[in-house]
Amino acid sequence: MNRIISIFIFLFLVLHLSSQDSIQNNHTAEQPKVETKKANWYDKISIRGYTQVRYNRLFETNPNLKSEQGDRSIGNLGGFFIRRMRIIIYGQVHENVYFYIQPDFASSASSTGLHFGQLRDAYFDVSIDKKREFRFRIGQSKVPFGFENMQSSQNRLPLDRNDALNSAVSNERDLGAFFMYAPKKVRELYSSLVNDGYKGSGDYGVFACGLYNGQTANKPELNNNSHFVARLSYPFKIKEQIIEPGIQGYTGIWTMPKDQLTASTKVSKNLEYLDERYAASLILYPKPFGIQAEYNIGKGPEYDVARDSIMTKDLKGGYVTLSYLIKVKKQVIIPFVRGTVYEGGKKHELDARAYNVKEVEGGIEYQLFKNFEFTASYVYSDRTTSDKTKESNHQTGSFLRIQAQLNF
């Protein structure tokens, strides 16, 4: 009897297991095939941007103190001002092709027209290796000259760039072609210095060189000569600190636009002038104490009062910015101070206006969260300018500046 019961139990288990296998096989067979979705080109495109709104006239001591190249809402008749409204469209559309387009919708078409759209960047990077360490940048982009020039205004601590190096390239950009090289690890470090809030300049290569028109962004070329630029820099770590020294220089021929000349001002033949500069940079990233220092020398067009003419003259100047990064939970506070000196011409301005600048700016940037920043800074400025219409314009003064910035 026990043997018969054992046989029945054995048969039951065999039939049960067989039925389960059959059910499992049928279930597996009925599962639909999962198709791999083909990536579309538009899936590789991203959009980001930022907006800056300012007011510059708190505790103002001299309404006649102005800034021609920087923030034009400084001084008399200046009020609330949208300094920048940038939308950036970018993406790695191919393994070896990256593109970047940035218009600004806070440009001034004239002294009476504000908030016009104007192209800032429109370039593509073509890499020639799998790691993308070697690449060519073609189009309108920042000229690789000066750390603060290449540093985005979205990341910079002082509200405007310094006169000394920013006078080299108006709006920091021009149309050309540049070769850039950086090892993969260094490119990753450049990216982290920006993304982690250490005020990096972005990735313009350890070594960069190239040719560009020389008349600055959104301006037609006015001669048959190209500017040549080269830059070498390398960030390295010492324990927790990151230091980046750099050297750079450019040379070319600048042609004075006729609409930037006062009638009867004496000029050179063909309106052409030697335009060349050499600069050194030293950056200690704020971890937590930071130093950013640059100095340049060179030659360029400058109005000469004694000769009533625009001449090729020597120029020199630089700046030092000190900062200290404080993190309180998810909030960031960065006090800073910058001192600037500059003696030389500004080729982009009327009659290549001569400048003698001494300026100190100190303030605090307060990042409530990643998408919103508030900056307050106090400026003392001593500026002397000379051009045909006003041979000696000496202005000194101070004022408090405030800025709200939205990052998206």
Tens digits of residue pLDDT in 33-66 = 556 677 787 889 999 999 999 999 999 999 999 9
The amino acid sitting at 249 is G
pLDDT digits (tens, 9 = 90+) for 210-225: 999 999 999 999 999 9
Distance CA(261)–CA(288), nearest Å, equals 47
For 166, counting Cβ atoms within 10 Å of its Cβ (0-12 exposed, 13-18 middle, 19+ buried), the class is: buried
Higher-pLDDT residue of 340 and 329 is 340
Handedness of CA 386, 54, 160, 153 (dihedral sign): negative
- Rounded CA Rg of the chain: 29
Distance CA(140)–CA(97), nearest Å, equals 16
pTM exceeds 0.85: yes
266 DSSP 8-state letter = B
Task: Compute the average pLDDT of residues 304-309.
Answer: 96
Distance CA(203)–CA(121), nearest Å, equals 15
Handedness of CA 149, 155, 160, 163 (dihedral sign): negative
Confidence band, pLDDT 50/70/90 cuts, at residue 14:
very low
Distance CA(300)–CA(274), nearest Å, equals 6
Distance CA(398)–CA(396), nearest Å, equals 7
Three-point CA angle 125, 51, 162, nearest 5°: 75
Q: Check pLDDT > 90 for residue 80.
A: yes
- Sorted by sequence, the CB contacts under 8 Å of residue 131 that are 6+ apart come out as 184
Distance CA(85)–CA(50), nearest Å, equals 6
Distance CA(295)–CA(275), nearest Å, equals 17
Q: Check pLDDT > 60 for residue 242.
A: yes
Q: Taking a C-beta distance cutoff of 8 angstroms, is the pair 331, 280 a contact?
A: no
Q: Per-domain residue ranges for the chain?
A: 46-407
Cα-based distances in Å from 299 to 175, 219, 222, 319: 22, 22, 19, 18
Handedness of CA 75, 76, 81, 86 (dihedral sign): negative
Task: Compute the average pLDDT of residues 172-199.
Answer: 97
Q: What is the reported pLDDT for 33?
A: 59
Q: Taking a C-beta distance cutoff of 8 angstroms, is the pair 289, 304 a contact?
A: no
32 DSSP 8-state letter = P
Q: Check pLDDT > 90 for residue 345.
A: yes
Encoding tokens for residue 122? 């429109």
Q: Check pLDDT > 60 for residue 86.
A: yes
Encoding tokens for residue 43? 């899936």
Q: Check pLDDT > 90 for residue 70.
A: no
Distance CA(194)–CA(242), nearest Å, equals 13
Give the burial string for 365-398 (b: 16+ CB within 10 Å, else e).
bbbeeeeebebebbbebbbebbbbeeeeeeeebb
Encoding tokens for residue 112? 């009476």
Q: Check pLDDT > 70 for residue 18.
A: no
**Polymer length in residues for the chain:** 408
Distance CA(135)–CA(137), nearest Å, equals 7
What class does CATH assign to 46-407? mainly beta
Q: Helix (H, G, I), strand (E, B), or coil: what is residue 283?
A: strand
Look at residues 291, 295, 269, 270 and name the one whose alpha carbon lies nearest to residue 281.
295
Task: Compute the average pLDDT of residues 76-96.
Answer: 96
Q: Check pLDDT > 70 for residue 408.
A: yes
Confidence band, pLDDT 50/70/90 cuts, at residue 359:
very high
Q: What is the mean pLDDT of the chain?
A: 92
Q: Check pLDDT > 50 for residue 123.
A: yes
Q: Taking a C-beta distance cutoff of 8 angstroms, is the pair 74, 66 a contact?
A: yes
